[in-house]
């Protein structure tokens, strides 16, 4: 990590200085229990309006304590084109791909659970309603300069 990246990505992040933190529900992170939790979340999640631009703040409702879900194009396990652009829109880590579980990202946005499922690569793609077209965000060209409107294909 050089000084530039530390300054750009970590200077404003807080680190916990609280000693003796007790972790809870560690067993819930074991494979079988985690799969049960993921399926529970997917079954209760409300599918967001995929005709809206996911880069707009209004894509995710201003609610609290809900579970929402969006589907993005992900042709194979290592296809992160849309995910990387969506991460930029959400202002979360976008320098490499991390924190995905079988093509699913589990986030907290605007005090809500937000699930993002890569279609068709993720086995959780089966939860996508037939009427929903996965979101596709292209990598910007140099002239465009950043993520823009969602392309529906």
Chain segment 102-148, per-residue pLDDT in tens: 999 999 899 999 999 999 999 999 999 999 999 999 887 645 555 54
- The answer to whether residue 68 is domain-embedded is yes
- The answer to whether residue 29 is domain-embedded is no
Domain with 112, as residue range(s), is 45-152
- The answer to whether residue 49 is domain-embedded is yes
- The answer to whether residue 32 is domain-embedded is no
- The answer to whether residue 33 is domain-embedded is no
Mean pLDDT of 35-61: 95
Residue 42: the pLDDT is 97
- The answer to whether residue 51 is domain-embedded is yes
Helices (H), 6-109: 31-44, 81-90
Residue 121: the pLDDT is 97
More confident residue, 55 or 147: 55
- The answer to whether residue 79 is domain-embedded is yes
- The answer to whether residue 14 is domain-embedded is no
- Total structural domains within the chain: 1
Chain segment 67-103, per-residue pLDDT in tens: 999 999 999 988 888 988 998 888 876 555 567 789 9
Residue 124: the pLDDT is 97
CA–CA dist 111, 24 (Å, integer): 20
């Amino acid at each position: 990590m050089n000084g530039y990246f530390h300054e750009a990505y970590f200077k404003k992040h807080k680190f916990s200085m609280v000693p003796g933190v007790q972790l809870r529900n560690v067993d819930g992170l074991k494979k079988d229990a985690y799969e049960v939790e993921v399926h529970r979340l997917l079954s209760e999640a409300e599918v967001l309006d995929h005709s809206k631009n996911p880069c707009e703040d209004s894509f995710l409702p201003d609610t609290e304590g809900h579970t929402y879900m969006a589907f993005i194009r992900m042709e194979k396990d290592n296809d992160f084109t849309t995910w990387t652009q969506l991460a930029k829109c959400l202002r979360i880590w976008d320098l490499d791909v991390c924190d995905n579980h079988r093509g699913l990202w589990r986030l907290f946005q605007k005090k809500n659970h937000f699930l993002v499922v890569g279609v068709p690569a993720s086995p959780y793609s089966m939860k996508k309603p037939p009427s929903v077209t996965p979101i596709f965000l292209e990598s910007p060209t140099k002239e465009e300069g950043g993520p823009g409107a969602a392309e529906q294909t």
